[in-house]
Amino acid sequence: MRGVVFTGNRAAEIREFPDPHAGPGEAVVTVRASGLCGTDLHRYRAAEPTEMITGHEPCGVIAELGPGAPDGLALGDRVMVHHYRGCGVCEMCAMGYEQLCPQGRVTYGGGTGHGANADYILVPSRTLVHLPSRFSVRSRSPAPCSSATGTCRIRMRRAVRIGLSPATTVRRDPSRSVSRQECCSPRHR
């Protein structure tokens, strides 16, 4: 597959990488759009090259699912990717804040895991969020960076409101999407 790396001093290069394959609990997503955010721009402008594929605002289509994927995911589903992977079992991960995992984390496209400026991205299947058909992939590609954290926050608030520990796993109805406004508006913070 092809992937973009930053070679330093505002230069980028397309390189060849091995095609990823999903293992247990993983998914390969065919990337249809990937946004650029401040993190990408900082790395692009830096003098130091990156060896990792850049881009951490991916949307695409599930191309491969490994065993142990959450119920409701299927090949061909349109998804956004929350671009962090924590240990998956600690309290922060259980609340949906994998980016705060005390055991360490992988940030896809952020320097510790290959990102989405590529043909494919390999991620934990638990990080996938269905993309409702009313949204285009291109219009939602910046959303994983800005709204996935908000989505996790909503999960935690709902758990506390109904009397559960924030670490309790709460399944959201996948047929109901969470809008960017819900995730980011002040009344939900």
1 vs 168, which has greater pLDDT? 1
The long-range contacts involving 101-110, CB below 8 angstroms and separated by at least 24 positions, are 107/56, 107/83, 108/56, 108/58, 108/81, 108/83, 108/84, 109/34, 109/39, 109/40, 109/52, 109/53, 109/54, 109/55, 109/56, 109/57, 109/58, 109/83, 110/39, 110/56, 110/83
Break the chain into its structural domains and give their ranges: 2-180
Residue-wise pLDDT for 59-71, tens only, equals: 899 999 999 999 9
Domain 2-180 -> CATH class: alpha beta
**What is the pairing mode between strands 120-124 and 2-6?**
unpaired
Which helix (H) or strand (E) element contains residue 30? strand 26-34
pLDDT tens digit string along 143-154?
A: 555 544 444 444
